[in-house]
Every structure is written in structure tokens, then in C-alpha cells.
Structure 1
Amino acid sequence: MTPSPEQPEKPLLITSELLGLPPYVVHPQDLSDSFNLVPGKIGSSIRQIDEETVVKYGPTVSLAEAEAMQFVSSHTNVQCPKVVGAYVLDGEGHIIMSYEHGKPLHAFWENASDKDKETVIEQLQRYLKEMRSIKGDYVGGFNRSPCVAGEFQWDYDHESDYEYGPYPDEHAFNDGIMEAISRARPWPANMDPESNGYNNTYRTRRLVHSLRDHEIVFTHGDLHAGNILVRDDLTVVIIDWGTAGFYPAYWEWYKATWHGPFKPSFIRQVERYIPPYWIEANIMNQIFNMILG
């Protein structure tokens, strides 16, 4: 009997229960042919497939990001890309969404009038008030997915698939931050309690766990000026929801300001639309520097 030829395996397609089946799946070859590339983050690419539609795709693109955008659109007045469909194909996430026309906030700000600037800030104030009014009962990515942030991406053992959270509360989240430090910079086992290493670890743990008693609120998690677009009609659109989830109330301020505003004076504008947490941000900047080494 002649053995039958092996059939090629079908691509593994995973979809979101919240979003349902996508209206179509973009062929991988179409993403690598002649479409215009829009700059994306590490681990993701964005390609424009027609005048009004883009696809964000890559190994770090998650269904949770699409779910977060859908949630924002249906529960708030915050403007963000409209999700057409989302799926994971052979391990790569894909989000088909509207292409948003507009200038990044830093480009808009340079030549805008004081009146137009105030219009934009007032919108951001309303957006953040709405978002932060949505409380969470866990800490982590949207729809109880793991935490997504730079603090959780450094691993001495290079276990890229290691997941942090979601966590039941802020105390457990702080334990996760300590774990992230230890995985990025492993401490020797059985250290002498009188050693500098032992006491540095003790001080670090006490520092991290001084972050407590914060409300857990819905958070974008990367609200720098490049992720805020201003349309010609001055409507503000927030993009790139890959780090969205529920985090302690200080997290939005910390993540929006940790690498500094696009111009020094703009920190005083950020302070107007995101409640500032100067002490917590200072602590987390120290922690992030420990993780980076």
C-alpha cells in the first residue's frame, strides 16, 4: 500500500471570545509585500492595508490589546482606533483596526495656539477622569492577562515566556516587582545577614512594599506624547493600548513620565491631566534602574 502524502498542517488560529471571529484574516504574504510600513514597537509591526485600515501584528501583539480598545470604545468617550477584528495566527497576534489620522501631541504642540492647546488638555482631563473611574479587582493586563511593562521584560535566564500576574492585589503586585528584580539580577542564595547584599535586598523589599493603599484603576500604561494624536478638528485620539490593564493609581503617571516629557516644561501639562504621584514615580524609577542594572 502506497502511503498517502503528508498533508500540510493548517495554521493555528486563535480568536477572542469577547470580540468574536474577525471578518477576515490577512494573508501573511500580503503583510510582507507592498503595503506601507508604519513605525511600530519592538516585537510588532504596523502595515497600512488601505486608506482607512491598518494591521498591527507580531509575536508581542495580544488579543488583550484589541479587547482593551473595544472596552474603551464601549464604556467611555475616549477616542481610540476602532477594532475591526483580532486573532492570533501561528503564534503572531494581529489587530485589524482603523487608521487614525492626526499629529502626535508633541508635533501638534509646537505650533498650536494657546486656545487649541487648552482644548486638547481639557479633552485629556475628561478622558483620564473617565478611565480612572473604572476600578479593578486585580492588578495586571486587560481581561486578567499578565502584566505588560518594561519592568517585566528583563530575565537573567532568558525565559521570554515567563509571565508576571495577574495579581489579586497591590501587595502581590509588589511581590511580582521584587521577583522581576531577582530574575533580572539574581541574588546569591544563603547570603550572610550582615552582608551588604542581604541588607540591600532587605531595603529594596521595604522600598517596594512602601507602595501600598492605592486604588486599582483602568490604566493605559504608556501615555507619552507619541501615543496621543490630535486630529485637524482638535479631537484627541489615544493609540497603542498594548500595556492597558488595571494597575495601582500611581502607575499611569509613572509610566507617562519615566523617560521624561518631549520638552522639560511639558511635565506641568501632564500634571494637569494625569494625577501626579511624585514619590511613587521616584521609587519606581529607582526600581527600574535596579532591573536594568
Structure 2
Amino acid sequence: MSDEEAIALIQRCPSLQGLGPLNSFGTRAEVWRVTPDTILKALWKPDESYMMELASSKTSIPIPKIRRYITWEGTQYVFMEYVDGSDFYEIWPSLSLWSRFMVAWTLRGYIRQLRAIELPNPDIPGPIQPSGAPLKCQGHYFSERGAGPFHSYSAMTAWYNGRSRLTNVLRNPYIRDLSMIPEPTTFFDDSMPLVFTHGDISPNNVRLGKDGTVWLLDWEMAGAYSQWFEYANMMAYDVDEPEWGWPHGVRWFIPFIAGWYRKQLSFLVKNATGIGHYGFEGFD
């Protein structure tokens, strides 16, 4: 495929319907099926493709093959193979109990493989790139603008504990200076190592191929995070929310798939106000 042919496909995208479900804004992801066996995706985080290639080279996880990149009008695009099949949220209700267990068992194995990958820099959290230098963290448990970059695991821990203090300030209108902030009673758990984490195993990022193969899609939120982050990220999706939430019965499988870390998740949920706020820097 020449550059001219690739650009022509990009220019066709506005006339095509994006893949995946509608989000809360009534739009779809910037992913389009441009030929019967090829999709095109706009990359807003160039490190995503490196993490896909790293996971592909170090594990047996089925991940769509990258065919080529092109930058056009300031945006990087990637052409990948199209996986013919059904998204998790579409097919789950029709699966037998045994088939559901086998999907869960497969995802459990994928997470174990990811956790076994040797990180370029085992003490730097966040998205992974060849140099190992830190990049800004983004995902369910960061603000809309992200956080960091963190130059060490301890720096990310300090940020989260600072967000806990900020939550106390935002929820208590009577606090007028920092000396009035109550001492925290819960803290971010950094007792487990940083591991390679997909970061967004969700109802529309797991796809079952026509032959029953379980594929993992959309590695935009992947990176090096605390071992329990995969569980927390999976639990971020509400039950029974059409298309975006886990279908009924899935949450029973999540601890089996990713481990059970209720205490760590409780810290994130309890401090969601501060974590999600992108102002008031200086609380770490």
C-alpha cells in the first residue's frame, strides 16, 4: 500500500461508521473498517503500538497484527488486521456456563503472561516505551488530563496519597488551611511490584473470533502499574450498563481472572474525588 492509497483510505473515514458501541457523548471510537480484513485507528498515544508489539513478542496473547503506520495532518494512524467475530458484551449472554468459564480461564492466563514480562525499567510506572523513560499516566484512576510523568514508583505512591488528602479538602468545606486536614487512615498500596498491565480489559475490548479465539484489543491504557490495577480497571465498568458495562454475571469471574484486591480498590473509590480532580497541585 502506497502513502497515497493509505491517505485515500483515511479521507474516506468520515463517511464510515466507527467500530464499537456509542459512548456517553453519542460518538464511537476513531476506529474504522476500511477493507474486509483491515481496520484503521487514529493513535493519540504513539506508545500504544510499542506496547502491542511488546506484548505480542513476549506472550501468546492473540493481538491484531499491525500492518503499517502513517502520519497525516499531524495525526498518526495505524492499519491493523480486522478480527472477525463478536465483542464480549454481544456474545456473553449466549454462552453456556462452561464457555463462560473457559473465556474467564483464558483471560486469567493472558494476565499471568503479561505480569511475567520483564519491564524495561521495573521502577517507573506508566506507559512503556523502548527507552524506559517516564510518560504521563492515563486511565480510569487518573484525572482527565492524566498524571505524572512519574520518575519512580514512590512518586506515583506519593501522588495517590496526596490525592487522598485532597479528597478530604474537597469534601470538607470547613478546612481553611492545610493544617486542618485530618490525618489519612488509608494509603495507596505499593507493596506489590509494577507489572505489565493491559489497563482496559472491558466488554468491548475483548473479542471472540469466529473460531472461539479470545482476542485482546485496544492497548491505549497499557503500561507498568501495580499488580492489582488490572482488577481495579476491570471493576471500573458498571454491571448491566448496555454495551459499556459488564453483562450480568461477569463480575463473579473478575477476581478469578485478575485476582481479588478489594482493599486496594476501596482506596481508589473512596478517593475518587481527589484522584479525578486535575487542579490543586502540590498535595503530593
Q: TM-score range by the shorter chain?
A: 0.7 to 0.9
For residue 146 of structure 1, what is the amino acid of its counterpart?
A: K
Helix, strand or coil at the partner of 2:41: strand
Whole-Å separation in 1 of the counterparts to 2:54 and 2:125: 17
| TM-aligned CA deviation for residue 79 of structure 1 | 0.7
- Asked whether 1:274 is paired with 2:258, we answer yes
Distance 1:30 1:181, change over 3 A: farther
Whole-Å separation in 2 of the counterparts to 1:134 and 1:229: 23
Distance 1:224 1:252, change over 3 A: same
For residue 251 of structure 1, what is the amino acid of its counterpart?
A: F
For residue 223 of structure 1, what is the amino acid of its counterpart?
A: I
Helix, strand or coil at the partner of 1:226: coil
Question: TM-score, with normalisation over the residues of structure 1?
Answer: 0.75
CA contact (8 A) 1:31 1:47 kept: no
Helix, strand or coil at the partner of 1:79: coil
- 1:8-23 equivalent positions in 2, closer than 5 A: none
Whole-Å separation in 1 of the counterparts to 2:256 and 2:40: 33
Helix, strand or coil at the partner of 1:229: strand
- Asked whether 1:145 is paired with 2:135, we answer yes
Tell me which residue corresponds to 2:19.
Answer: 38
Question: TM-score, with normalisation over the residues of structure 2?
Answer: 0.77
The percent of aligned pairs where both chains have the same amino acid is: 17
Distance 1:146 1:290, change over 3 A: closer
Distance 1:291 1:35, change over 3 A: same
Helix, strand or coil at the partner of 2:63: coil
- 1:119-158 equivalent positions in 2, closer than 5 A: 119-136=102-119, 137=122, 138-143=124-129, 144-154=134-144
| TM-aligned CA deviation for residue 90 of structure 1 | 4.1
Distance 1:88 1:183, change over 3 A: farther
Whole-Å separation in 2 of the counterparts to 1:231 and 1:96: 19
Whole-Å separation in 2 of the counterparts to 1:83 and 1:180: 38
Deviates more, 1:42-51 or 1:132-141: 42-51
Whole-Å separation in 2 of the counterparts to 1:207 and 1:72: 34
Question: What is the CA deviation profile of residues 107-140 of structure 1, one whole-angstrom value per residue up to 9, with x for unaligned ones?
Answer: 2221112332233222212211111112431211
| TM-aligned CA deviation for residue 163 of structure 1 | 5.3
Distance 1:263 1:34, change over 3 A: closer
Tell me which residue corresponds to 1:6.
Answer: none
Please say which structure displays the higher CA radius of gyration: 1
- 1:1-293 equivalent positions in 2, closer than 5 A: 24=3, 26-27=6-7, 30-39=11-20, 45-57=30-42, 61-136=44-119, 137=122, 138-143=124-129, 144-154=134-144, 164-169=148-153, 171-178=154-161, 191=177, 193=179, 195=180, 198-199=181-182, 202-203=183-184, 207-209=186-188, 211-261=189-239, 262-263=246-247, 265-292=249-276
Whole-Å separation in 2 of the counterparts to 1:43 and 1:263: 20
Q: How many residues of Structure 1 are paired with residues of Structure 2 in the alignment? A: 255
Whole-Å separation in 2 of the counterparts to 1:151 and 1:177: 10
Distance 1:53 1:185, change over 3 A: farther
| TM-aligned CA deviation for residue 24 of structure 1 | 4.1
Question: What is the CA deviation profile of residues 194-232 of structure 1, one whole-angstrom value per residue up to 9, with x for unaligned ones?
Answer: x3xx22xx42xx6334x1211111000011222111112
CA contact (8 A) 1:152 1:164 kept: no
Query: Alpha carbon RMSD of aligned pairs, Å?
Result: 3.2
Helix, strand or coil at the partner of 1:208: coil
